[in-house]
Amino acid sequence: MGYSFWLSEGGARLAGIDTESPVPKYYQLKEIIRDMIEKEELRAGQAIPSEREFCERYGISRMTARQAIMELVNEGLLYREQGRGTFVAEKKLQQEAVRLTSFTQDMRDRGMRASSRVLEMEVEPAGPVVARMLGVDRGTRIVRLRRVRDADGEPMALETSHLLYEVARGVLDVDLSERSLYEELRKAGVRMSRAEQSYEAGLVSEAEAEHLGVPAGSPALLIERITFDQNDRPFEYVKSTYRADRYRVTTVLHP
């Protein structure tokens, strides 16, 4: 590692820190590191050069290098391992929060393979919350489906879907570990017209930790969705816990 990293780049990275610039030096270094990650000169899991190496390469102080690295750690682009160094984190998957897509489709769009571990699939009476969300009477039959959603075999989210039984009963016989719920529902004639979704910050619980492969208390993105059919009737209410280290949502805002 060390200098070989810089040398192997054949000096391409020499364009450095502009000391005349009003932009703070630590910020310039952050942008340089960010750029290296984007161009995949530094890849996920790879150690970044040490603070000392950054100082020598760019003629900056230790404090400046430390601040840049610390901020990138806080932003989740880098992570530290005690006694081993600082590494590039896995890229977060982005979901554009405008299109009504399924998890399977989202992953496919990114060239990844979606799969699921079905933890539960039960027919049961709707409790008060689910009944309210789906606009049905308490006790109406629903299908409750709990799945760990994997992307390329790595856990990304834990989802609990509550579906109207009359709409979803066809999926009870389907092995959903390799199949998309939405594709199965479409085959059964369901047309999805829209969904309402909310996002909340949260923490991975004890019970979820094991399924998601992260320690309890890790940051999570809690998403709730109500999906409507062609008659504008809600047929699905989903609560999901996404790993905040792997997932990020973007939106396009218009004036």
CA neighbours closer than 13 Å in the CB half-sphere of residue 101: 14
Q: Does 228 bind ligand 16G (CB under 6 A)?
A: no
CB of 109 to ligand 16G, least distance (A): 12
CB of 186 to ligand 16G, least distance (A): 9
Q: Is 116 helix (H, G, I), strand (E, B) or coil?
A: strand
Contact residue for ligand 16G among 92, 225, 239, 248 (CB under 6 A): 225
What six digits make up the tokens of 110? 């990114």
**What's CA 201's distance to the chain center, in Å?**
13
Contact residue for ligand 16G among 114, 156, 204, 212 (CB under 6 A): 114
β-bridge mates for residue 134, sequence order: none
Give the footprint of ligand 16G on residues 165-204 (CB under 6 A).
180-182
61 secondary structure, DSSP code: -
**Amino acid residing at 30:** K
Distance CA(3)–CA(14), nearest Å, equals 13
CB of 85 to ligand 16G, least distance (A): 35
Q: Does 161 bind ligand 16G (CB under 6 A)?
A: yes
Contact residue for ligand 16G among 238, 241, 243, 246 (CB under 6 A): 238
CB of 188 to ligand 16G, least distance (A): 13
Distance CA(131)–CA(124), nearest Å, equals 12
Q: Are 98 and 85 in contact (CB under 8 A)?
A: no
Q: Does 235 bind ligand 16G (CB under 6 A)?
A: no
**Between 18 and 109, CB nearer to ligand 16G:** 109
Contact residue for ligand 16G among 50, 102, 160, 205 (CB under 6 A): 102
**Amino acid residing at 218:** S
Q: Are 248 and 94 in contact (CB under 8 A)?
A: yes
- Count of residues that bind ligand 16G according to CB under 6 A: 13
Contact residue for ligand 16G among 64, 67, 104, 115 (CB under 6 A): 104
Radius of gyration of the chain (CA): 23
Footprint on this chain of ligand 16G (rule: CB under 6 A): 102-104, 114, 159, 161, 180-182, 223, 225, 238, 240
